[in-house]
Chain A
């Protein structure tokens, strides 16, 4: 049973518009969430994170929103650029009990930003 779900395998957006990538989770013990970007033949690159004590975290063009009651988070990219085209992974973990190592990943969403 998948604890972290990214239900859209792919997303296509026009350059300059907003990209919204969604992620749902089922385990209420998760209290730390991360987004990673992955290009082919490279390892995942950390983008942005959010702890469950917040509902929003912003870093430049990237904003992550967390809705704990809905067990849902989203990554907004504004404005989208062609270089943002990659696979985006949502990951979750529980900081309680020192289990920071066990990141649970979704299957990823492939974002294509068209010029």
Chain B
């Protein structure tokens, strides 16, 4: 069973640029959630994708967007980068079944630094 993988592991961008982060979900999982973790904070929910559709969104501006592909892998895109976007971006996969509880399994994260 393959776990959740993310790429790249580290990334440095400058303010105003755009970035794409990638995530491959765990085998058998149909749902991907993205989180932002700032230093000293817990992860904050950005959005979730279930079967290629957005299935919930946190309090993040529209310049944070995402995609899920038929193989359930996912991308997080951030436009017009700001200094405060510097954080660890975590992807989590799960098997979302109707009415059921499902643990989310996290990847190692992508460390984004915006200069």
Contact = CB atoms under 8 A, between A and B. Distances in A.
A4 B104 CA distance: 18
Nearest to A108: B42
Interface residues of A, number: 26
B74 to A, nearest CB: 12
Contacts of A105: 35, 42-44
A41 B88 CA distance: 10
A103 B96 contact: no
Given A41-B108, A43-B90, A101-B56, A89 B103 contact: no
Contact of A101 (B6, B31, B99, B100): B31
Contacts of B33: 101, 103
Nearest to B43: A105
Q: Interface size class for chain B?
A: 20 to 34
Contact of A103 (B6, B47, B104): B104
B55 A43 contact: no
**Which of A99, A102, A106 has the most B CB atoms < 10 Å from its CB?**
A102
A42 B108 CA distance: 5
5 contacts: A32-B101, A44-B43, A95-B100, A101-B33, A102-B45
A29 B64 CA distance: 27
B90 A44 contact: yes
B71 to A, nearest CB: 19
B106 A103 contact: no
